[in-house]
A and B are shown apart, each in its own frame.
Chain A
Amino acid sequence: MEGSYGAPPPPESVQKKFALPVDSEHKATEFRLFSVAAPHMRAFHLSWVSFFACFVSTFAAPPLLPIIRDDLDLTATDIGNAGIAAVSGAVFARVAMGTACDLFGPRLASAALTLITAPAVYCTAIANSPASFLLVRFFTGFSIATFVSTQFWMSSLFSSKVVGTANGVAGGWGNLGGGATQLIMPLVFDLIHNIGSTKFTAWRIAFFIPALFQTLSAYAIFFLGQDLPDGNYSQLHKSGDKHKDNFSQVFYHAITNYRGWILALTYGYCFGVELTIDNIIAQYFYDRFNVNLHTAGIIAASFGLANLFSRPGGGILSDIMAKRYGMRGRLWALWTVQTLGGIFCILLGKVGSLGVSIAVMIIFSVFVQAACGLTFGIVPFVSRRSLGIVSGMTGGGGNVGAVLTQVIFFRGSRFSTETGITLMGVMIICCSLVIMSIYFPQWGGMFCGPSSKVTTEEDYYMSEWNSAEKERGIHMASMKFSENSRSERGRRVESAPTPINGTPSTYV
């Protein structure tokens, strides 16, 4: 495979031995969960742990709101606004993060963001008014843009056969933080309160725990991580092995690809819904069913904790469907699972007893989180050149969904929380319908097969490069990717026409 496109064979210094089997791009073709071998599995563990830490910080306030709202004299509107602020920062941060990954590499981008948002978490301990509370939640919320670097990193290190699984597990275990924090924060608060602090001091001290965790994980990424199988961006840029891409070209190809926009919208109604629930569910159970703080935290936690297996399950399902049905299978699975999530959401708002409510919530969480995993089984194939920005747009769309949903249904006192939940379910079902419009000419869409005029993966991915760039040979990574993505045809791979294995100048 090496050198078949006219490029000189890689020098001996780059011929490394990897702990996992790799393809022509040196991406791992297997996903071994219990290994920490550099660079693939180590990067996996570093990225999900730091993303987990960011989620813990961003949603550290909701389980302690019954205390914080008394200390800072917050109204329901203040709380709603802070919840919206917490997820709105990341809308643009995620797109910016996508750009940063494309240009500087996921390792530096995620370590930098994690470290720069840590002060917001430290300063939550000194908030003293609704305004300052809103500000700290706003800036802390930027940290969950590390989602994009997680997905980008996994997409850079794992081949298309396992990318859905890698993305799903990394994303899911990171999102777990939103659930774990609902358990961790009340526990830490109780501990500090029992040692002797008053309630209004104990919650402040409790915030140092997520802040320190975040700082430490940033250090770990910087010192132990590696961007690509062959090295870090900065080294590869200088040694000439990796070309430093042109931002405006990368940006243009991302925003002109309609599939990125559609996935951004639908992600708003699986992940955005997940973020919304993380913000409101503890208070919902505390206020509606009169359970105590601890119990409300445990119930809320079980929503986020389902991420342990549900989002990875979505990713795995995506890869399984792709094996048999290719990209069309991935699309059908996404639409089905997300719509079912909407149905259970409608139900959640309707049930009035505690036990059934918890059961429905758990089922709902499995479907909604699996839909997130399924979405990122598709994202790596939308664009190769602009993977970072497309990931960022989709991720950002998730946050836009969270902002919109909270503004429309969960702010102030217009709807009761249970009515808001039901209406949110209706919105999920409606917005998921657009998945039907995604179409890849080389693979097809939900209702149509691949294009009748022979279109190959190379045609699709090479259209992102112009002839001048191809002459300079900087499109090679996309070429290799096109070859490797042929598996998205599903079982038809054996009978597919072999593309012209030739020089790039054939494609204009």
Chain B
Amino acid sequence: MAVVEGFLVATLLLSCLASTSYGVTFSSLQKTLVVSASNQQGKVLKGGEGNITITWSYNNSFPAGTDSAYKTVKVKLCYAPISQQDRAWRKTVDNLEKDKTCQHNIVSRPYSPSNNKFTWSVERDVPTATYFIRAYAYNSADEEVAFGQNTDAHKTTNLFQVEAISGRHASLDIASICFSAFSIVSLFGFFFLEKRKAKSAEKK
């Protein structure tokens, strides 16, 4: 019993230590990057087929030297508010360590103020949803220091939709139906066999 108590106390202490790290908050970041994507209004991108070209650059209207700490840029695919509704696993939270808005990485590049372009083909594991693109700038300690996105602050403009693959194949469909039919036929077989056994018991 004492061993169990000791174990519980140790786990408690360790877990307290583990949860004291703080993340960078989104509201502390400046929107110093200009991001644009090539999606056309009303066109739906298909998983595994469609592609989208993203360009990003530094916004020169900010004071010089603001981008001196930027080392890398990571471009991510992010969920628009409509795809976050009633889905707590995609929630936007200010603490970037807990934030789940941007779950898919598109590309990671060393920082350069201009001439950044990337054509991304939509992967097959991207779910059906409405998205926008966001780029984070990281410093050498791999912390977010700035961002840019191809939509406005309320995430309502320039959104695009992806239609995922279903994952179904004809072979799967056929296998499912066949095995199901086999099960039902077996069931009738069982009843038939049982009736026969009972009749022979009666005859004895």
Contact = CB atoms under 8 A, between A and B. Distances in A.
A151 to B, nearest CB: 22
Given A115-B190, A116-B184, A359-B8, A199 B166 contact: no
A73 interface: yes
A290 B89 CA distance: 10
Nearest to A76: B86
Nearest to B125: A199
A212 B180 CA distance: 10
A201 interface: yes
Nearest to A357: B15
A434 interface: no
Interface string B32-49: 000000000000000000
Name, among B98, B124, B193, the residue most crowded by chain A CB atoms within 10 Å (CB to CB). B124
Nearest to A358: B11
Interface stretch (B64-72, B148-156, B196-204): B196-204
Interface size for chain A: under 10, 10 to 19, 20 to 34, or 35 or more residues? 35 or more
B88 interface: yes
B86 A118 contact: no
B160 to A, nearest CB: 16
A355 B85 contact: no
B165 interface: yes
A111 interface: yes
B19 interface: yes
A213 interface: no
Interface in A144-169: none
Interface string B15-56: 110110000000000000000000000000000000000000
Given A203-B167, A204-B167, A353 B15 contact: yes
A70 B164 contact: yes
B87 to A, nearest CB: 6
Interface string A58-82: 0000000010011101011100000
Question: Which among B11, B12, B168, B176 has the greatest number of chain A C-beta atoms within 10 A?
Answer: B176
Interface stretch (A235-243, A302-310, A319-327, A370-378): A235-243
B187 interface: yes
A356 B167 contact: no
Contacts of B141: none
Contact of B12 (A199, A235, A356): A356
Given A70-B127, A119-B184, A353-B15, A200 B198 contact: no
A122 B179 contact: yes
Contacts of B201: 234-235, 238-239
Contacts of B129: 73
B180 A239 contact: no
Contact of B166 (A200, A215, A222): A200
Nearest to A74: B87
B142 interface: no
A71 B184 contact: no
A354 interface: yes
Interface string A446-462: 00000000000000000
Given A122-B180, A126-B172, A198-B167, 19 more contacts: A71-B167, A76-B87, A112-B190, A112-B191, A118-B179, A119-B181, A123-B176, A126-B168, A199-B124, A200-B166, A201-B172, A219-B186, A234-B194, A234-B198, A287-B88, A287-B89, A352-B19, A355-B14, A413-B88
Interface of A: 66, 69-71, 73, 75-77, 108, 111-112, 115-116, 118-119, 122-123, 125-126, 128, 198-205, 208, 211-212, 215, 218-219, 222, 232, 234-235, 237-239, 283, 286-287, 290, 352-356, 359, 412-413
16 contacts: A70-B127, A70-B164, A71-B167, A75-B85, A76-B87, A115-B184, A115-B186, A122-B183, A123-B176, A126-B173, A198-B125, A222-B193, A234-B201, A235-B198, A237-B198, A353-B16
